[in-house]
Structure 1
């Protein structure tokens, strides 16, 4: 199998022209809103750092929004590769992503958008990057299906500025799955689940995770773009509903040094024309029931693990999670090496069954579009080259990054992962921009004096 690296396309529209994606079949935005009693639309996109940006569009302007999009000053939005002098980013709605959320605010819906600049899909836009990678796979007849596990903490800020669990009674040494802690947060958890169920996402579990104040949401898998959109929507819903109850919901990877961090695990599978490609049908040299395609996909994730981390674990704080040696509960649940195995949560890639693989290295700070695009790019490279991951439990010869700076260096040395970021327009310099953005983030952190330094060095000499 050969994966073409020709000029990327999005829904049949080449990126070297001014064409926009063909409009979705079915009702217009205005018609959908009228049917649901929606009065306002959140026209939403994310920056490269995952910040959700939006304008509030009244339904009376829905037809103009659908036809022309809505403009943003890109530099003001944040990490979008723009300067104040640059032309507007125009958020073009994907009508298929229309999502009413009346339980959050009556009369409100979210619509995810593809940013354009001067009539062309914008190379720095994470959703556009994922769509480019999806179309790269489609040209080979492949489709990525994904599920996501969303972990987060519910916290308050104490008077001294420190974080404490929002539930003051959530103080057990091993709180995971605790029925009482779950019940005390029942109002928040059930409201979030009701929102997801009403949207047809088929939520199937909420649980108290391993850290005090930590919870998780599971919902049914879908095509990878839909799942990435749902992650953005769900984070927004969780945070707004938490604020309404006087709490802060944080997806920060490691808000507490002595407790488990929050991951964003991705469950991945490849399909062709409705047929699952991961279950094995013949000889299986590694005994996990996977096909050669699935093993090669896993091998791609493992081979590109260091560079992949720059996109799935993209903050300074991420490496407090992956580098943790212990927590109050006795386990970190974060991978420490690039390995894979069966139903074993210590591996970076877990194989719970023959239908999917679970990438466990991503965390709550990851931009869902970039994380999915990076995983797809790494896995497809493994398929293209027919890589073999070796025996289950065997660690790759390279180490995982210990800091964000290490991950950035690995990204800059990886043509495959740089190619993901540059997939919309190889000449736009997105990978260089992203690497510099993250390098400066590391140096900003490095330049701040921490309590650890005061404790360690104040009277050291």
Structure 2
């Protein structure tokens, strides 16, 4: 990383509300943090009670991404959380990885997140679906975002203006659920850094404005077993019908994860 001009790196994880929690370290201690991790207060991050709150975050080096913040080079690595030398069972990343491993088939997902770019708390433009992006600083943020993602080996499929004023959608690569979610975490962090350096803001909030379109996160799911697509190709298979039925049956419980805030229901 030093050869790439990185002087500081960030090592973080998501809390139970999806917020990025991280610490910043000088690059000279990277090897130590990579092998030993760092301790933190699990009570203040919402994972455990105050009486026994010592947790450890250990970086997963496969998630290491170098990116630009203005003229500065930074690095971000996502961590797994441990307690008493064992994975913390309610660590969101651990739960996802454990669930994926338990399946008898392969699952691939693709994400299409939507977000608003803001200036003074308001949308940066009054454009709509697939309009040209004419503001130079907005275009620069979006191209910087795509270039940084590609430099981090995250190939963006497309990016365009959405229906809402100042609203955009980006399509991330299709793949393993854990890797795709790691890419999404990096995207959100990177976008907020890029906008902050230009005096703007960004929000992925489901319904940031009354009377304007909400932000969605479209999730495409495929299930594959022995090279066969379980949901069918041209028509939905019986397995696909059962999958849809399961989503409907457990929709109320699933909403605890997909619609976890009051604002989520303002969008629905």
| Residues 1:318 and 1:181: Cα distance change in structure 2 (over 3 Å) | farther
Q: Distance in 2 between matches of 1:222 and 1:183?
A: 33
Q: Distance in 2 between matches of 1:153 and 1:132?
A: 33
SS in 1 for 2:43: helix
CA apart distance, 1:276: 4.5
Partner of 1:218: 171
Partner of 1:152: 115
Q: Whose radius of gyration is greater, 1 or 2? A: 1
Contact 1:181 1:208 in 2 (8 A): no
Partner of 2:98: 132
Matched, 1:310 2:256: yes
Instruction: Give the TM-score taking structure 2 as reference length.
Output: 0.92
Q: Distance in 2 between matches of 1:303 and 1:105?
A: 51
Contact 2:63 2:77 in 1 (8 A): yes
| Worse-superposed segment, 105-114 or 199-208 | 105-114
| Worse-superposed segment, 59-68 or 34-43 | 34-43
Matched, 1:258 2:207: no
Matched, 1:166 2:118: no
1:73 corresponds, among 41, 57, 63, to 41
Query: What RMSD over aligned residues (CA atoms) do the two structures have, in Å?
Result: 2.1
Q: Distance in 2 between matches of 1:164 and 1:107?
A: 29
Superposed CA deviations along residues 324-364 of structure 1, whole A, max 9, x for unmatched, are xxxxxxxxxxxxxxxxxxxxxxxxxxxxxxxxxxxxxxxxx
SS in 2 for 1:101: strand
CA apart distance, 1:305: 1.4
Partner of 2:183: 230
Partner of 1:49: 17
1:335-374 counterparts in 2 under 5 A? Answer: none
1:271-286 counterparts in 2 under 5 A? Answer: 271-272=224-225, 275-278=227-230, 280=232
Q: Which residues of structure 1 form unaligned runs of 5+? A: 1-32, 158-162, 282-287, 323-461
2:51 corresponds, among 82, 85, 104, to 85
SS in 1 for 2:6: coil
SS in 1 for 2:129: coil
Superposed CA deviations along residues 297-328 of structure 1, whole A, max 9, x for unmatched, are 22222221121112111110011101xxxxxx
SS in 1 for 2:23: strand
Structure with higher strand content:
2
| Residues 1:64 and 1:295: Cα distance change in structure 2 (over 3 Å) | same
Matched, 1:239 2:185: no
Contact 2:59 2:78 in 1 (8 A): yes
Q: Distance in 2 between matches of 1:145 and 1:238?
A: 24
CA apart distance, 1:85: 2.9
| Residues 1:211 and 1:225: Cα distance change in structure 2 (over 3 Å) | same
Partner of 2:202: 249
1:200 corresponds, among 149, 153, 166, to 153
Q: Distance in 2 between matches of 1:96 and 1:218?
A: 21
Instruction: Give the TM-score taking structure 1 as reference length.
Output: 0.55
CA apart distance, 1:237: 0.6
| Residues 1:300 and 1:102: Cα distance change in structure 2 (over 3 Å) | same
Partner of 1:291: 237
Partner of 1:407: none
SS in 2 for 1:39: strand
Q: Distance in 1 between matches of 2:71 and 2:237?
A: 46
1:118 corresponds, among 67, 84, 88, to 84
| Residues 1:176 and 1:258: Cα distance change in structure 2 (over 3 Å) | same
Q: Distance in 1 between matches of 2:3 and 2:198?
A: 29
Contact 2:231 2:238 in 1 (8 A): no
Superposed CA deviations along residues 412-440 of structure 1, whole A, max 9, x for unmatched, are xxxxxxxxxxxxxxxxxxxxxxxxxxxxx
Contact 1:182 1:208 in 2 (8 A): no
Matched, 1:64 2:58: no
